[in-house]
Structure 1
Amino acid sequence: MTRIITTFFFVGLLRPASGTWGSAAAVAVGLILHGLGHFPLLLAATVAVIPLSFWSVARELRDRPGEDPSEIVIDEVAGQWIALCFPSAGFWFAGLESWNFLWPGWVSAFVLFRLFDVWKPWIIGRADRRGDPAGVVLDDLWAGIFAGIGTIILAALSHGVLMR
């Protein structure tokens, strides 16, 4: 069961770049969640997947200390959904229809999440270097927060500066 969870229904077994595949699958499912129940449903799914990530990764890696296998992508799902929550909340608070989730928001969240997840600046890299199952998840949660903030900054620049 933990194998199914940690590989996000075996998406993590896709090659090359299993983390990117996991993030792409997370965006697809996140967009469906946003469409069906807008920000509250995406937020609820995100809040549920975070502890599930910690639990399943810890179970999967209990006999493999210090490892961060590329097929484990549930942490990418959690981080990517955090990043998607930022533009999803913006659309929800603006009163836009749930299926009106325009491409710049989710594309920015995806690209920035992958950038921070690969680059691992500052606290993201520190979490990654922990070398334990919690670190496997934490670096992606931080990357999701950074990507979400970056997405909102880009949206503000686009709508505020570029639209004038």
Structure 2
Amino acid sequence: MNKQELKEKYGKKRVPHEWRKTDWFTTLVVTFFGSGMSPKAPGTMGSLAAAIVAYPMAVLADHLFNGKERLFVPLHIGETECGLLINLFFLAAALFVFFAAIPFVKKAMKDTGTEDPGWIVIDEVCGIFMALAFFPTNLIVLHPWFLAIAFGLFRFFDILKPLGIHRFEKFPGAWGVMADDLLGGIYAGILLCFAAAGIYKIIFS
């Protein structure tokens, strides 16, 4: 046998990746610029990419709106008065990604004959942005390490899917792919909001 025959018989056959069955633009969207193509932990890579992108987004929002993107919602828990901050910029970003991604996720799954494959990570991007929708933009700019906390909290809810998140997975088609991460982001964001308040209370008390 010559070298080519040996390669054909014993060489590792390359199996085309599923995403190659759909068009390049759909692939670009659902893998979030290729971050979902990671052979290991694509969901983690997609979430990490979203957290990294969130920093320049926060810098831009802080420059453009200078705090005007915040909405404070007062809450009364028993005799305790507290509040929940809503970051309208990241809330809009999360909702935009959610609804804009639905047709692309639907097309990707239809073209490839898959159902919520790991390389679709645009839902993780939506979740990270939603987690940051409960956090002030200027603190992201001043203390980027809060992005690591948001990342960790979101991955916790995304992987374990507690508090009814797993039920959202059962929504039909692309809606199920996106909805569970949106809810996971909400839970992560609320925890992030209260965790940040606790950290600052300890630091400045």
Residue 120 of structure 1 and its aligned partner are, at CA, apart by 0.2
Which residue is equivalent to 2:12?
none
For the residue of structure 2 that corresponds to 1:76, the secondary structure is: helix
1:81 partner amino acid = F
Residue 58 of structure 1 and its aligned partner are, at CA, apart by 1.4
Which residue is equivalent to 2:168?
127
- Aligned residue runs from structure 1 range 5-154, under 5 A: 5-38=29-62, 41-62=89-110, 67-87=115-135, 90-92=136-138, 99-100=141-142, 102-130=143-171, 132-154=173-195
Residue 20 of structure 1 and its aligned partner are, at CA, apart by 0.4
CA–CA distance in structure 2, aligned partners of residues 63 and 70 of structure 1: 15
Unaligned runs of 5+ in 1: none
Unaligned runs of 5+ in 2: 1-24, 63-68, 70-87
1:79 partner amino acid = G
Please tell me whether Structure 1 or Structure 2 has the larger radius of gyration of its CA atoms. 2
> CA-atom RMSD, angstroms?
2.3
Q: Identity of counterpart residues, as a percentage?
A: 36
Residue 27 of structure 1 and its aligned partner are, at CA, apart by 0.5
Does the 8 A contact of 1:33 with 1:41 survive in 2? no
CA–CA distance in structure 2, aligned partners of residues 64 and 121 of structure 1: 29
For residues 106-131 of structure 1, the C-alpha deviation after alignment (integer angstroms, 9 at most, x for no partner) is 12211000000001012211112336
Q: Which has the higher strand share?
A: 2
Which residue is equivalent to 1:3?
27
Residue 155 of structure 1 and its aligned partner are, at CA, apart by 1.1
Change (3 A) 1:65 1:138: farther
Q: Which has the higher helix share?
A: 1
CA–CA distance in structure 2, aligned partners of residues 120 and 80 of structure 1: 15
CA–CA distance in structure 1, aligned partners of residues 60 and 137 of structure 2: 14
CA–CA distance in structure 2, aligned partners of residues 64 and 142 of structure 1: 26
For the residue of structure 2 that corresponds to 1:158, the secondary structure is: helix
1:123 partner amino acid = G
Residue 85 of structure 1 and its aligned partner are, at CA, apart by 2.3
Which residue is equivalent to 1:156?
197
